[in-house]
Amino acid sequence: MVKENILEVKNLTKTFGSGHTLVKAVDDVSFDVKRGEVILIMGPSGSGKTTLLTTIGALLTPTSGSIKILDKEITKEKVSKLARFRLKFIGFIFQTFNLLESLSALENIEVVLGIAKVKPSLQKEKAIKLLENLGLKDRLNYLPKELSGGEKQRVSIARALALDPQVILADEPTANLDSKSGHHVMEILRKIAKEKNKTVIIVSHDQRIMDIADRVLWLEDGRIKEGAVGFVEDPVCQMKIEKEKAPFKSTFGGKEFYFCSKKCKETFDTNKES
């Protein structure tokens, strides 16, 4: 029987410095993630989001606590074995894309397949299929400098999927994208999670992408709580916004509605009067 939880984080702590300079970037964090689930971890700058993500991805060693991926406790693994584990089971997506500028979109994917010792005869075929599935059929031989931000991020998604990982970790993947491109990228990640039963964990401060998540976890001062922040949906544009910070609100039928912009509020008020 396939276990439902693919990731289990228990009492995870990551500190930097010592004595009076000690900083708890991640402070006693625990949560589980299921297969096919999309988790969005949000919080203010400096809250520890990236530290948490990179520790889950075995790029940082935790100070204490445990991380299990596919029932394997990676916190007990030797550093020499972690690189291979990451390559096989974890895909990373970064806000700065991290593409090799001298290589084409196709070659950026082939490099990863080569590192994993995929047969040379299969590398190009697989890389082409990944990029075509992400709508980049006409961009295979383009250099990163010739691609838009959204296209670069789709190449980085293809790279993350190259070795068919079970867990995809995305660090501020929409930070360098406009609203339309950012939401399109998030819809791609959600589709991958649901259709391929992959687990996607995203850290971001971008509230525009909240609607693609199955759960939103809030991180502040290194501590994480589910449902710690109250989010509501703008009834006009369906954008999820933090209730306490909603710039506009209106009352209708004895109920309060919250809006992300003056335009949405005006549209709502006009419709309720008609």
pLDDT bucket at 93, cuts 50 / 70 / 90: very high
Report the pLDDT averaged over residues 95-118: 93
pLDDT of res. 227: 53
- Which range, 84-88, 164-168, 242-246, is most confident? 164-168
- Chain centroid to CA 218: how far? 14
- CATH of residue 37's domain is 3.40.50.300
Report the pLDDT averaged over residues 235-264: 80
State the total domains in the chain: 2
Could you tell me what percent of the chain has a pLDDT over 90? Answer: 55
- 13/148 same-domain check: yes
pLDDT of res. 80: 80
Phi, psi for residue 84 in degrees, rounded to 5: -65, -40
Are the beta carbons of 90 and 69 closer than 8 angstroms?
yes
**Nearest CA-CA partner of 50 in 93, 102, 86:** 93
pLDDT bucket at 1, cuts 50 / 70 / 90: very low
- 69/136 same-domain check: yes
Q: Is a pLDDT exceeding 90 seen at residue 206? A: no
> Across the chain, which distance is largest between two alpha carbons, in Å?
67
How far apart, in Å, are the Cα atoms of 43 and each of 70, 202, 271, 273? Answer: 27, 12, 34, 37
C-beta atoms surrounding 87 within 10 Å: 16
- 129/260 same-domain check: no
pLDDT of res. 246: 81
pLDDT of res. 274: 60
- 154/274 same-domain check: no
Domain span at residue 175? 5-229
- 153/256 same-domain check: no
Q: Worst-scoring range by mean pLDDT, 65-74, 88-97, 232-241?
A: 232-241
- 179/251 same-domain check: no
- 90/211 same-domain check: yes
Q: Report the alpha-carbon distance of residue 27 to residue 12 in Å, rounded.
A: 7
- 44/121 same-domain check: yes
Q: Report the alpha-carbon distance of residue 229 to residue 213 in Å, rounded.
A: 15
- 254/151 same-domain check: no
- 225/245 same-domain check: no
- 188/265 same-domain check: no
Query: Can you give the pTM of this predicted structure?
Result: 0.80
Q: Is a pLDDT exceeding 90 seen at residue 63? A: yes
Report the pLDDT averaged over residues 225-247: 70
- 219/131 same-domain check: yes
